[in-house]
Amino acid sequence: MLLNAKRYSTALIALTLITGTACTKKAETPAPTDASAPKTEAAAPAAPAGSDIIRIGEVGSMTGSEATFGQSTHNGILLALKEINGRGGVKGKKLEVTSLDDQGKPEEAATAVTRLITQNGAQAILGEVASSRSIAMAPIAQKYQIPMVTPSSTNPKVTELGDYIFRVCFIDPFQGAVMAKFALENLKVKKVAILRDVKSDYSVGLANFFTDTFKKGGGTVVVDQSYSGGDMDFKSQLTSIRAKNPEAIFVPGYYTEVGLIGGQARELGLKVPMMGGDGWDSSKLTEIGGAAMNGSYFSNHYSSENQAPEVQQFIKTYKEAYGGTPDALAAMGYDATHVLAEAMARAQSLSPLDIRKELAATKDFHGVTGKISIDAFRNAIKPAVVLKVENGQFKYQTTIAP
């Protein structure tokens, strides 16, 4: 609804070209395509033994109300692949990615991952961003025993679905605690309202984890309201929230709805700060919410203001390739790809089992989103940053360690 179709098609063309330059064999790397397209089309054969290509499958929301998640992640993945292939690939083979668009729908994500594994011969999967879609994909990757690395799905359940499922990000019990502590200690608020997306595992989980820590710290959730992803009118929930006079509103949703909620909250005279999680991270947040988002806070995986040389180098390379500052999704896509490639490089063979073993053994990988070590539950333990929305910019506030 809020997508500009013309702009997306331009973006798609740009992605196609970049995909081409990232790999040696242009024709074999299709641009992101619709997961539900006819199965006979664009299906690459499984990589034969002795092939000089390692096939990676990527599933992402390239269109729909979370399109920037898929697009940014895809950009980060391509940038990493270009670097990896530029220095000779892995075990003398080039990495090639086939990307499928799930349109932001869990059923499409499931179809896409099945197709990548059974028809394209994917040897590993990157994706998804949104937890509900990773939850739809994980049992399939697990069933076929193909390693799957989600760059940024934070709901705990994702990696609980099997020992082939990994992530390079922190999980929501931590992220919820980060924002609860920030509310209590930095904003010094004790009465908070919650507005959660009941259709999203991420949103429901994060709302619950926030509540746990906030209550333990002496806070009260004065009202807990819900919506369904895709909704556009939040006035009745916001009216109920207004009646309870909260000092802040926690909205752990994705940027399209959050932007709309911000605008409608201000229209109803609700002036208290809004807070959220990584799902806010998109330049669209303030395009949709405008000035209403100013003075709001959210937790995230990375800040582009981090002056560490590797972060600034990544930002510079990304800007040269795509023209904008990378968001956390891009950084996580980039890190996930490097973590996977390093695991493949260390692995005794490129069998899924050997790749899986080395993913599990990832230790102190220096990513642009911080140091990544995979724990016994296949999660990464990393600090989070808190950012403040100020005139369309996300300003670094603080880092909160686990």
328 binds ligand PHE (CB under 6 A): yes
The sign of the dihedral angle between the CA atoms of 177, 183, 185, 189 is negative
Q: Please, which residue, 30 or 326, has the CB nearer to ligand PHE?
A: 326
- Count of C-beta atoms within a 10 Å radius of residue 41: 8
Site stretch for ligand PHE (CB under 6 A), options 23-31, 150-158, 312-320, 385-393: 150-158
Site stretch for ligand PHE (CB under 6 A), options 37-45, 117-125, 152-160, 381-389: 152-160
Among 259, 201, 257, which Cα is nearest to 227's?
257
Q: How far is the CB of 64 from ligand PHE (least distance, A)?
A: 14
**Beta strand 274-276 with 248-250: parallel, antiparallel or unpaired?**
parallel
279 binds ligand PHE (CB under 6 A): yes
Count, residues near ligand PHE per rule CB under 6 A: 14
Q: Please, which residue, 259 or 279, has the CB nearer to ligand PHE?
A: 279
Q: Please, which residue, 204 or 344, has the CB nearer to ligand PHE?
A: 204
Supply 24's token pair.
């040696």
Query: Within 199-228, which residues bind ligand PHE (CB under 6 A)?
Result: 202
* Phi-psi domain of 378 (left: phi exceeds 0; alpha: psi -120 through 50; beta: other): left
58 binds ligand PHE (CB under 6 A): no
Listed in sequence order, the DSSP H helices in 106-186 are: 106-118, 131-144, 157-160, 172-181
Q: Please, which residue, 65 or 153, has the CB nearer to ligand PHE?
A: 153
**Beta strand 370-372 with 384-390: parallel, antiparallel or unpaired?**
unpaired
Q: How far is the CB of 49 from ligand PHE (least distance, A)?
A: 36
Among 22, 47, 90, 129, interactor with ligand PHE by CB under 6 A? 129
130 binds ligand PHE (CB under 6 A): yes
Collapse the DSSP code of 312 into the 3-class scheme (helix H, G, I; strand E, B; otherwise coil) and give the result.
helix
165 binds ligand PHE (CB under 6 A): no
Contact between residue 371 and residue 170 where contact means Cβ atoms under 8 Å apart: no
Contact between residue 68 and residue 327 where contact means Cβ atoms under 8 Å apart: yes
197 binds ligand PHE (CB under 6 A): no
Query: Within 308-327, which residues bind ligand PHE (CB under 6 A)?
Result: none
69 binds ligand PHE (CB under 6 A): yes
154 binds ligand PHE (CB under 6 A): yes
Supply 22's token pair.
């990232």
Residue nearest to ligand PHE (CB): 202
- Taking the C-alpha atoms of residue 131 and residue 37, their distance in angstroms, rounded to an integer, is 23
Angle at 117 between CA 114 and CA 120, to 5 degrees: 115
- Taking the C-alpha atoms of residue 247 and residue 265, their distance in angstroms, rounded to an integer, is 13
152 binds ligand PHE (CB under 6 A): yes
CA-to-CA separations, 225 to 233, 261, 279, 344, in angstroms, rounded: 13, 12, 18, 45
Listed in sequence order, the DSSP H helices in 145-234 are: 157-160, 172-181, 201-216
108 binds ligand PHE (CB under 6 A): no
Q: Please, which residue, 23 or 394, has the CB nearer to ligand PHE?
A: 394
What does R_g of the chain's alpha carbons equal in angstroms? 20
Q: Please, which residue, 31 or 329, has the CB nearer to ligand PHE?
A: 329
Q: How far is the CB of 26 from ligand PHE (least distance, A)?
A: 30
Q: How far is the CB of 170 from ligand PHE (least distance, A)?
A: 9
Binding site for ligand PHE (CB under 6 A): 69, 129-131, 152-155, 202, 278-279, 281, 328-329
